Amino acid sequence: MSPLKKTHVEGLKKSITGRVISPQDKDYDEARTIWNSMIDKKPAVIVQVAKAGDVPHAVRFAREHQLELSVLGGGHHIAGNSLAENGLTIDFSNMRKVTVDTQSKRARVEPGATLADFDKATLAHGLATPTGINSTTGIAGLTLGGGFGWLTRQYGMTIDNLLSARIVTAEGKTLKVSENENSDLFWAIRGGGGNFGVVTEFEYQLHNMNPEVYAGLIVFPFIEAKNIMKQYREFSKSAPKELNVWIVIRHAPPLPFLPEDQHGKMVIVLAVFFNGSADKGESLTEFLKGFGNPIGDHIGMQPYTQWQQAFDPLLTPGMRNYWKSHNFRSIENELIDTVNKHAATIPTPHTEIFLGSISGVQNDIPANATAYSARDARYIVNVHGRWEKPEDDKRCISWCRKFFDATKPFASGGAYVNFMTEDESERVPSAYGANYERLVSLKQKYDPDNLFHMNQNIVPEPLARK
């Protein structure tokens, strides 16, 4: 790759209706700042596209000048793949429109939209689809990796509700993909990450949704964690699909409904979501409270959009983050013991372990129906290392890796690419299981030169041999 000349950048500007930002521009640093502050990459050029038609020009420019190409949607991916060091970053931050068709119960969404943008637009019409749990997450990255959240047990994963997309290929061509058009590529992008092109529009199936849900937190002392996890395991086996309960283990933040003497102490939290009536929600909550001796709770009817933002204060940008996760078919006693042993040494007040339930509709879908193959997973455990200072990097990352290694014997062997860090490329084949070879073939068909490699990369076979 030769250095970009000013004349090259000026030529790019003429073909783009949006903005082209270079390191010399005063807002360059702001444009390259993403959620995980551990990522400090400096693109040679950032193309803030204004419309889908800008994307083919940016893709062709990257190919012509042999620039590494990355795509910035919400900028939340833990590995920081949305930025390309000394490369070209396509920035969708100005393309966040969500268009809802209430008759067909469908939404067309631009790739810069966050979950907050999506939820606001759809819930205004009493409609929703499964997405994630943090409102500042980008819809594009979430979808391409699979996508799961509070509604997954009831309606499946985000990709299970994707009807079509428009994608710019490595050749700079724009294709519509669906079950009836370019169906092989449609199969690949449902879980295959950004390996196959740049998506410029998503179309989702929506479901009727009460704007208010019964949701909140029940907080128990950490000393009760083992007993609570065992009861949770049995309860989750027969819980209604409208109910989703996740476990969070961490130091208690200064929540107003907790006694002050509990702030900063280790706790186990049941995060409860029920898409149903208040009466049924209260009944289920009372049962869950009986798992132990709560030190506080805050739960009741609230807007779904508000619940989708409940964890935002714990996931603000600017902190250093490192994740490790496994999928699980079941919660064995040995897993419970291992989780609690390592939780007792959690390295920072901001670090947490969460156990999310993803059992339900997504388990009924065949493993080969989409690129995402982990349809046997009923739970996912993610250790979310989070801290403030660079000097703590080694200690915190080491703790996360030890947790990961210790829980591996009880895992299902699959992986969720949206939770994989930059140093986990060796896990990519296992993440896709039996679907991996088909993905390699499609990568060879649509991106033989591996232009789209700023991701959990599926390497075309000829390049893999080198």
pLDDT along the chain (466 residues), means of 10: 78 94 95 95 97 97 96 93 96 98 98 98 98 96 97 98 98 97 98 97 97 98 98 96 98 95 97 97 96 97 96 92 97 97 96 96 97 97 96 97 97 93 92 96 96 96 64
CA distance linking residue 335 with residue 328, whole number of Å: 10
Cα dihedral sign, 101-130-371-168 = positive
CB atoms within 10 A of CB 29: 10
> Alpha helices of 257-392 — where are they, by DSSP H?
278-289, 304-307, 333-343
What is the reported pLDDT for 5?
Answer: 81
Which helix (H) or strand (E) covers residue 383, if one does? strand 379-387
Place of tokens 């208040």: 278
Quote the tokens at residue 3.
Answer: 């250095």
Question: β-strand 88-91 against 69-72: which pairing, if any?
Answer: parallel
Backbone angles phi and psi of 265, in degrees to 5: -90, 155
Torsion angle, alpha carbons of 413, 416, 420, 423, to 10: 40
In eight-state DSSP terms, residue 369 is: S
Distance CA 182, CA 188 (A): 10
CA distance linking residue 203 with residue 208, whole number of Å: 16
* Cα atoms in the 13 Å half-sphere on the side-chain side of 334: 7
The number of beta carbons lying within 10 Å of the beta carbon of residue 259 is 10
- Is pTM beyond 0.75? Reply is yes
Tell me the chain's radius of gyration from C-alpha atoms.
22
pLDDT at 107: 98
Instruction: Return the closest-CA partner of residue 56 out of 8, 13, 87, 16.
Output: 16
pLDDT digits (tens, 9 = 90+) for 383-394: 999 999 999 999
Coil vs helix vs strand at 96 = coil
The CA–CA distances, whole Å, from 57 to 16, 47, 308 equal 7, 10, 36
Indicate the helix (H) or strand (E) that contains 10. Answer: helix 6-15
Q: How many CB atoms lie within 10 A of CB 8?
A: 17
- Distance of alpha carbon 159 from alpha carbon 131, whole angstroms: 9
Residue 2: per-residue pLDDT = 55
Distance CA 240, CA 272 (A): 13
Q: Which residues pair with 301 in a beta bridge?
A: 214
Alpha-carbon distance of 314 to 93, in angstroms, equals 23
- How far apart are the C-alpha atoms of 446 and 371, rounded to whole Å? 15
Strand order in the sheet with 69-72: 19-21, 45-48, 88-91, 69-72
Nearest to 442 by CA among 198, 176, 160, 195: 195
The pLDDT of residue 165 is 98
Length reported for the chain: 466
Domains of the chain: 12-91 (3.30.43.10), 98-208 (3.30.465.10), 212-419 (3.40.462.20)
For 368, residues 6+ apart whose C-beta sits below 8 A from its C-beta are 434, 435
Rounded distance, CA 209 to CA 462, Å? 48
Distance (Å, whole) CA 461 – CA 445: 11
Residue that the structure tokens 């979430």 belong to: 142
Strands (E), 11-141: 19-21, 45-48, 69-72, 88-91, 98-101, 106-109, 127-128
Q: Which of 361, 114, 118, 383 is CA-nearest to residue 244? A: 361
**Burial environment of residue 33 by CB neighbours within 10 A (0 to 12, 13 to 18, 19 or more):** middle
CB 386 within 8 A of CB 395: no
pLDDT of res. 433 = 95
Of all residues in the chain, what percent carry a pLDDT higher than 70? 98
**Residue 133 corresponds to which amino acid?**
I
Q: Which residue has the tokens 């949006």?
A: 18
Between β-strands 162-168 and 198-205, what pairing exists: parallel, antiparallel or unpaired?
antiparallel
